[in-house]
Amino acid sequence: MIVQGTGLLARAFLLQGDPTAPCLIFGRGVSDSSTTDEAAYARELETLQVALDEADDAGIPLVYFSGASIHGDVALPFAEDRPVRPTSRYGRHQQDCEAAIGASRGAHLIARLPNAVGPGGHPHQLVPSLVRQVLAGEVAVRSGAERDLLDVADAVSIVQRLVRVGAVGVTVNVASGISLPVESIVASIAEILGATPVLRVEPNGDAQRFDISRLRSLLPDVAFEEGYPVGVLERYVPSIRT
């Protein structure tokens, strides 16, 4: 296994991944989905092209991590075979990267992830941001917003299994398939931290729900219990607060 990058996913693969797994993990790129820095997007696309050539020369598939932003304004739940209509710059960038991968000559796996949660996440990511706001005493959420939380350790395990079963040349939603209202996520974080923040609800939230039928067809034993998202929060929120 070759791991490129220094973010949450790359570190998880370096710590927990099987070094003999035959793939190149592309964990580089833009970490803040709200950025408008065109140079940052261009750098990631250029780096991706180089990594695609490296993986092809090594005879191994490249694994790229896309996400919910690429779907944009489409019907729920998000399914891999539906046309995407990204509405954000970050989503359009993910679409550009997926297109570059599809046009490449090498083997690949595109894993579309929800909100991955683990140790040392970027401050702009959902759970670290909510933890920071809860501790500050006030949290802003948007009505109707829903998110799927995935333990980064499960992301590592599932991706490696997909590579081993030969799931290349495909796009797969690697998610739990369980979406919680963000208000519920905030309530769980507050309970874990013993905090009572003020909740400020603003309009126009977006729901994110992932169809994981393709994942289950490739790995039939993958299953997530109803309480999975709260378990992820209980596992990582105490360390994220520090």
Query: What digits encode the pLDDT tens for the residues 121-177?
Result: 788 899 999 999 999 999 999 999 999 999 999 999 999 999 999 999 999 999 999
Q: Are strands 138-142 and 198-202 parallel, antiparallel or unpaired?
A: parallel
Confidence class of residue 75 from pLDDT cuts 50, 70 and 90?
Answer: confident
Residue 23 structural domain: 2-240
Query: What digits encode the pLDDT tens for the residues 2-56?
Result: 999 989 999 999 999 888 889 999 998 887 788 888 999 999 999 999 999 999 9
Question: Which secondary-structure segment (H or E) carries 199?
Answer: strand 198-202
Report the CATH number that the domain containing residue 139 is assigned in CATH.
Answer: 3.40.50.720
Domain count of the chain?
Answer: 1
Residue 103's CB is within 10 A of a number of other CB atoms, namely: 8
Please report, rounded to a whole number, the percentage of residues in the chain having pLDDT higher than 90. Answer: 86
In contact, 152 and 117? CB cutoff 8 Å: yes
Residues 6+ apart with CB under 8 A from 25: 1, 2, 3, 4, 5, 9, 10, 13, 17, 63, 159
